[in-house]
Amino acid sequence: MTEEIFDIVDAADQPIGVATRAYVHQAKLRHRAAHVLLYNPDGLLYLQRRSPFKDCSPDLWDTSAAGHLNQGEAYAAAARRELLEELGVEPDDDLLKLHKLEAGASTGYEFVEVFRTTTQREVRPDPKEITEGRWCTQVEVAEWIQRAPEEFTGTFRKIWGLLNP
């Protein structure tokens, strides 16, 4: 398998070079990721539990779909790609950009653009990426994250805090 190549970016999220995924993570270089909050028509949010074999935040609960941007890829394109790769769905609606998180230790040195969309389609999680998934109400997520924040990725906790100040 070919190793992933990421854009390395500066503090203003402008590309300044490229490197392999392994090197970017090991050297804690700024790079990019997209996260998607997928809702069904009833307003339930899909959360995924990351595989225990992931190199970052293994076995923790996270946004519906998330992933790094490939070299030269736009945030929205990566968000759509990750929805398809991880959940086997295309959104029914356009992706709505919600927030952009600054790169830092709490995000794994990733600039993160957060999107929201909906689907009526059946979610088919990729078992190599996702251990389990579930549809949750906003109240269920709020109570869960208050009760057991350590069960969620740092990035999800930041995103949730922005959505529910």
- Rounded to whole angstroms, the Cα distance separating 63 from 156 reads 6
- Cα 57 to chain centroid, rounded: 11
Is there a contact between 24 and 6 (Cβ–Cβ < 8 Å)? yes
* 29 closest CA partner among 79, 103, 113, 102: 103
Q: What is the tens place of the pLDDT at every residue in 14-73?
A: 999 999 999 999 999 999 999 999 999 999 999 999 998 887 888 999 999 999 999 999
What is the signed CA dihedral for 9, 15, 21, 25, rounded to 10 degrees? -10
For the chain, which residues make up each domain, given as ranges? 5-163
Q: Mean pLDDT throughout 79-88?
A: 96
> Domain 5-163 falls in which CATH fold?
Nucleoside Triphosphate Pyrophosphohydrolase (3.90.79)
- Asked if residue 155 has pLDDT above 70, the reply is yes
Residue tagged 């030269």 (tokens): 72
pLDDT value of residue 3: 85
Position 49 scores a pLDDT of 97
pLDDT reading at 1 higher than 70:
no
Residues 124-149: pLDDT tens digits?
999 999 999 999 999 999 999 999 99
- For position 91, what pLDDT does the model report? 82
Which pLDDT score is estimated for 164? 82
Question: 62: burial class by Cβ within 10 Å (0-12, 13-18, 19+)?
Answer: buried
